[in-house]
Amino acid sequence: MPTNLPAEAQKKLAEYQAARRVEDKIRILEEALSLIPDHKGTEKMRRHLKTTLAKLRRELETRRTTKATRQDLFHVKKEGAAQVTLLGVANSGKSTILSTLTNAKPAVEAYQLTTVRPIPGMMIHNTVELQIVELPAVLTEELEETGFTSRSVAVARNSDLIAITLNGGGDITEQFRRIVSILDSYGIVLKRKRADVIIEKKDSGGIRLVTLGSFQGTQQDVKTLLHGLGIKHAVVKIYGDATLDDVEEQAIREAVYKRSMVIVGRADLIKEREKAEELKHMVSEYGLPITPFSILYKDRYASRIKETMFKSLEIIRIYTQKDGVTSNKPIVLHRGATVLELAQAIHREFAEKLQYARVWGKSVKIQGQQVGPSHVLEDGDIVEIHI
Ligand SMILES: Nc1nc2c(ncn2[C@@H]2O[C@H](COP(=O)(O)OP(=O)(O)OP(=O)(O)O)[C@@H](O)[C@H]2O)c(=O)[nH]1
Ligand SMILES: [Mg+2]
């Protein structure tokens, strides 16, 4: 159950919601924490507040140490159908992997923190262009956060897939634990959730609830909870079987789910087989795929990594057909996309005039079948749109 907080603490949290400057947010959160009694019922709340506090402190620190010009170096323009970020431990072979997968030629050195700004490269797989970006390490070989951590995580947060890269020459299970916890502290969740809560804060209109699933609480419960946290106006969308606790968590830390996978770089250096098994088990608890990489068998591993990236991104390729001629360059969409979304991807006007489509491929029983705008397409389908 959500926490019953003392009135002063509730007041502080309301103040926090209204605060704009990071310095103010930190001060108010520290005050709020000191006002919340430490017991079982407040444990979850205190933990969330502490995580948020840690994140704010780091944000402040990076801002102080980073000049605006250096910040700009971290901006990477997205190219291709999707962007994948290599985020990981120093000296884990990220640059070596990047140069194996793409046309990029990053510096590879035996010392750590060679890469000091994001390096993009283009990879082509199944005729689809994917952008791979190596990020400066978020963890040193000694498992300390680096001066790049918050900026690298910010780029990863904005990417379509995070490839967590571990160093086979070190303690791989501990590296994984640390990276998951760093991402968590920045509000990035790797486990696909059974339920989802989205809170869109507004300027007026009170608290409105939209439920798509089996939410157990009432509008009043949500209202009371959010008012207690200082949120007066918001549209709250609840998908799946979310609980009031999930709403509370989302209201406090605004977490996002990110697709991710794990690469064990320098896999030839792994000494203990049991360690690798333990990591596999840990990673499977998150439902994530894991692939090794070693320069010794780089081509074999590279094709496995490409395949895994492609699968994890859940993208499909659709070939359009006009006057009996099929295009050889696919249109890339996400899994579950419909004929209407395909038309929208081609041209807005096209979507407005769309009447029906003929489809050849896995999504239809009869080849050349006529389907409507809401028909769900599959990878490799050939589609002829009729307007
Ligand atoms: N044994 C082994 N060494 C490798 C492998 N891949 C890279 N290395 C070596 O590991 C060191 C680091 O490789 P990089 O590719 O620069 O690693 P990185 O993760 O980009 O390193 P930073 O940018 O410094 O964080 C270099 O000395 C490489 O030669 C591998 O598969 N096996
Ligand atoms: Mg590097």
The pLDDT of 298-304, averaged and rounded, is 96
The radius of gyration of the chain from alpha carbons, rounded to an integer in Å, stands at 24
For residue 99 and ligand 1, the question of a CB distance below 6 A is answered with no
pLDDT tens profile 106-123 = 999 999 999 999 999 999
Residue 91 pLDDT greater than 90, yes or no: yes
Atom of ligand 1 nearest to the CA of 110: 27
Position with higher pLDDT, 272 vs 4: 272
Which CATH number, 3.40.50, 1.20.58, 1.20.1070, 2.30.30, labels domain 1-65? 1.20.58
The protein residue whose alpha carbon is closest to atom 11 in ligand 1 is 110
Q: Which of 279, 281, 244 is nearest to 265 (CA)?
A: 279
Q: Quote the pLDDT of residue 65.
A: 65
pLDDT tens profile 134-146 = 999 999 999 999 9
Q: In percent, how much of the chain has pLDDT > 70?
A: 97
pTM over 0.85: no
Q: Are 254 and 187 in contact (CB under 8 A)?
A: yes
For residue 92 and ligand 1, the question of a CB distance below 6 A is answered with yes
Q: Are 32 and 20 in contact (CB under 8 A)?
A: no
Backbone angles phi, psi at 185, to 5 degrees: -70, -20
Residue 53 pLDDT greater than 80, yes or no: yes
For residue 266 and ligand 1, the question of a CB distance below 6 A is answered with yes
Strands 256-257 and 188-189, sheet pairing = parallel
What distance in angstroms lies between residue 98's CA and the mean position of ligand 1's atoms?
11
Domain ranges of the chain: 1-65, 80-190+258-313, 194-254, 315-386
Could you tell me the two tokens for 70?
Answer: 């250096």
The pLDDT of 321-350, averaged and rounded, is 89
The pLDDT of 290-295, averaged and rounded, is 98
Query: Cβ contacts of residue 132 below 8 Å, gap of 6+?
Result: 83, 84, 85, 86, 98, 101, 102, 104, 120, 121, 122, 123
Q: Which amino acid is at 259?
A: R
- Dist CA 125 CA 96 (whole Å): 18
Query: Cβ contacts of residue 386 below 8 Å, gap of 6+?
Result: 354, 355, 356, 357, 358
Could you tell me the two tokens for 241?
Answer: 């079987």
Which architecture, in CATH terms, is 315-386?
Answer: Roll (3.10)
What distance in angstroms lies between residue 359's CA and the mean position of ligand 1's atoms?
47
Q: Are 30 and 46 in contact (CB under 8 A)?
A: no
Q: Which of 187, 81, 175 is nearest to 128 (CA)?
A: 81
Q: Give the model's confidence band at 217: pLDDT under 50 very low, under 70 low, under 90 confident, else very high.
A: confident
Backbone angles phi, psi at 344, to 5 degrees: -65, -35
pLDDT tens profile 230-257 = 888 998 888 888 888 888 888 877 778 8
Q: Are 103 and 130 in contact (CB under 8 A)?
A: no
Q: Quote the pLDDT of residue 66.
A: 61
What is the length of the chain? 387
269: how many CB neighbours lie within 10 A of its CB?
14
pLDDT tens profile 26-48 = 999 999 999 988 888 888 888 88
For residue 295 and ligand 1, the question of a CB distance below 6 A is answered with yes
Could you tell me the two tokens for 214?
Answer: 């089996």
- Dist CA 377 CA 359 (whole Å): 9
- Fold classification of 80-190+258-313 is Rossmann fold (3.40.50)
- Dist CA 306 CA 311 (whole Å): 9
Query: Cβ contacts of residue 5 below 8 Å, gap of 6+?
Result: 13, 36, 42, 45, 228
Q: How far is CA 87 from the centre of its chain?
A: 12
Using left for φ > 0, alpha for ψ between -120 and 50, and beta otherwise, residue 117 falls in beta
Q: Quote the pLDDT of residue 1.
A: 45
Q: Which ligand is nearest to the CA of 109?
A: 1
Q: Which of 224, 236, 247 is nearest to 10 (CA)?
A: 224
Q: Do domains 80-190+258-313 and 315-386 have the same CATH topology?
A: no
Atom of ligand 1 nearest to the CA of 298: 31
pLDDT tens profile 10-29 = 889 888 888 888 889 999 99
Strands (E), 70-195: 82-88, 119-125, 128-134, 161-167, 188-189
What distance in angstroms lies between residue 122's CA and the mean position of ligand 1's atoms?
20
For residue 302 and ligand 1, the question of a CB distance below 6 A is answered with no
- Dist CA 235 CA 203 (whole Å): 11
Residue 67 pLDDT greater than 60, yes or no: no
CA dihedral sign of residues 79, 83, 84, 85:
positive
Q: Quote the pLDDT of residue 302.
A: 97
The overall average pLDDT reported for the chain is 90
Q: Which ligand is nearest to the CA of 137?
A: 1
For residue 224 and ligand 1, the question of a CB distance below 6 A is answered with no
Residue 68 pLDDT greater than 70, yes or no: no
The pLDDT of 3-8, averaged and rounded, is 80
Q: Give the model's confidence band at 131: pLDDT under 50 very low, under 70 low, under 90 confident, else very high.
A: very high
